Amino acid sequence: MAIEFTKYHGLGNDFILIDNRATSEPVITPEQAIQLCDRHFGIGADGVIFTLPGQDDTDYTMRIYNSDGSEAQMCGNGIRCLADFLATLEGLAAKTAYRIHTPAGVMIPKRETDGRIKVDMGMAFLEAGQVPTTLAEADQKVINTPIKVAEQSWDVTCVGMGNPHCITFVEDVTTIPLETIGPQFEHHPAFPQKTNMEFIQVVRPDYLKMRVWERGAGLTLACGTGACASVVAGVLTQKCDRTATVELPGGCLEIEWSQLDQHLYMTGPAERVFTGTWEG
């Protein structure tokens, strides 16, 4: 079975995009996604993104398989790549903005005049039961709550962006042994659906540095939902402004937590790398 694909990245968070508009289910299996994402024996990526027909008055549906074969509800860098991919597929008929159905809700990416993609990421979920985490009662927020990981107590804030995020603030993100400690947070029993883990250094109230361990993908160069969640956590803990630049290993994202509608808005690049055919 020959599958045409396009390789994209958003700040180094890389994906295999597949035109799946002819059917409502992904054309490859999670096991095949693992093969595709393998950086030695496959194409190499953090995940596979499928463009499927829209649902409930949306233009398209996005589904994502992580590099470990698990399915992600949402990916901020991924949806920016999807928006550019759709514009390429549609050609002259391409829209400026799309309504995209995802397991995390409807997201609206918009192509800006400077070539970047701005995405309405919707509202953050702050109650523990919505994240989800058991670090507090289901209807309570988790803000600066201690958790023991790697024989150390960490003060964490938990935010749901359609996927779970655990955020902690540190003096220097470069000192964190992410490959060792990231999996321990991801699989901690306090997170029944596992979690993404963000370590944040506040350079100034409008500028954060972030390193991330992604659920299902591991160490990545960027995470859009994580950048959004980190700004929310920074505001809740009075460490940052509602509009901030988040610097990741792969580059910078501009994040705004709007006071008007309480939505998160993320702006950043999406880069097409190459196209090809996979002989599955």
Q: Identify the active-site residue in 37, 75, 158, 240.
A: 75
Distance of alpha carbon 147 from alpha carbon 159, whole angstroms = 15
Q: Hey, what are 144's tokens? A: 């600066």
Distance of alpha carbon 109 from alpha carbon 96, whole angstroms = 8
37 in catalytic set: no
Q: Identify the active-site residue in 223, 228, 240, 252.
A: 223
- Which segments of 54-144 are extended strands (E)? 60-66, 71-72, 100-102, 105-111, 117-123
Q: Hey, what are 66's tokens? A: 């992580």
Task: Give DSSP secondary structure letters for 147-201.
Answer: EEETTEEEEEEEEESSSEEEEEE-S-GGG--HHHHHHHHHT-TT-TT--EEEEEE
158 in catalytic set: no
**Enzyme catalytic residues:** 75, 223
